[in-house]
Amino acid sequence: MRRFVICALTLVAVTAGCRRGAELDTRTFPLQHIGPGEAASLISPYVFTDREGNPGKISTGPSAVTVRETPDNLDKIDRVLKEYDQPRPDVRLHFRLIEADDFKESDPGISEVESELRRIFQFKGYRLMGEAYVSATDGSKVRQGLLGSSDPYLVSAEIHWIHPRVIRLQDVWLVHGRNDVLLQTTVNVHPGQTLVLGTSPGAGTTGGGRTLLLAVTADSIGS
């Protein structure tokens, strides 16, 4: 009888422990460079709001997030926020509009990207039609005409840092004239990287059947 009672009490203790669930702590993380909504999205994989018995929780304030989770997960969240909550430097963009055709001579203005163009595309030659330099802050929009071309080309984009090493160029537009949209896209680029974006032959109503390539290089100012 005594042995049975001891086993029964042990079973009750284990069952109560299961209902109680994981031991959670609460910690508030102040934010300096990212918003609470962005921070909540970054740390959500480490907060188990569907944990049975004792779920995790995120709450946000004007410049902080408060998290209720296990100590191990709170330490992971702390590391994630330290990685992402960094100053966002200004960005310098270099746009180059390139025409692809049967040009025989190389254009020194695009020498550093011409070999890559030849690897990706099958045109015989390329020439620089126009270019623009523009600087921008995180979250800003840029709009700039391309210099060097007799035709009026304009580029625009919205700049967002989505990681200390990744810049999102959102809604990149290449427009000819007043409203002839030749290209519209969104891309991610690393600082120092050059991306080549293309348009189809004859794109737009005034493209003249040209195949145009828009190359963009992004650099963080002060890097």
From residue 70, alpha-carbon distances to 50, 57, 75, 210 in Å are 14, 11, 9, 59
Q: Is the pTM of this model over 0.75?
A: no
Kindly state the average pLDDT of the residues 113-130. 86
Q: What percent of the chain has pLDDT over 70?
A: 85
**pLDDT for the residue 1:** 45
Q: Assess contact for 94 and 115: CB atoms under 8 A.
A: no
What pLDDT shows up at residue 94? Answer: 96
Q: Which residue type sits at 155? A: V
CATH entry, 21-84, from 3.40.50.300, 3.50.50.60, 3.30.1370.120, 3.40.50.360:
3.30.1370.120
What pLDDT score does 54 carry? 92
- Model confidence at 210: pLDDT above 80: no
Q: What is the pLDDT of residue 8?
A: 42
Regarding predicted confidence, which is higher, 142 or 165? 142
In tens, the pLDDT along 52-76 reads 989 999 999 999 999 999 999 999 9
Res. 14: pLDDT tops 60:
no
Task: Report the Cα–Cα distance between both ends of the chain, in Å, rounded.
Answer: 76
Q: Would you state the pLDDT for residue 202? A: 54
Tell me, what's the pLDDT at 208?
56
C-alpha closest to that of 162 among 102, 98, 218: 218
Looking at the chain, the domain(s) classified CATH 3.30.1370.120 span 21-84
Per-residue model confidence (pLDDT) at position 21: 62
Q: Rounded to whole angstroms, how far apart are CA atoms 123 and 99?
A: 10
pLDDT tens digits along 89-101: 999 999 999 998 8
pLDDT band (50, 70, 90) for residue 223: low
Distance between CA 11 and CA 148 in Å, rounded? 82
Pick from 45-54, 59-68, 108-117, 173-182: least confident:
108-117
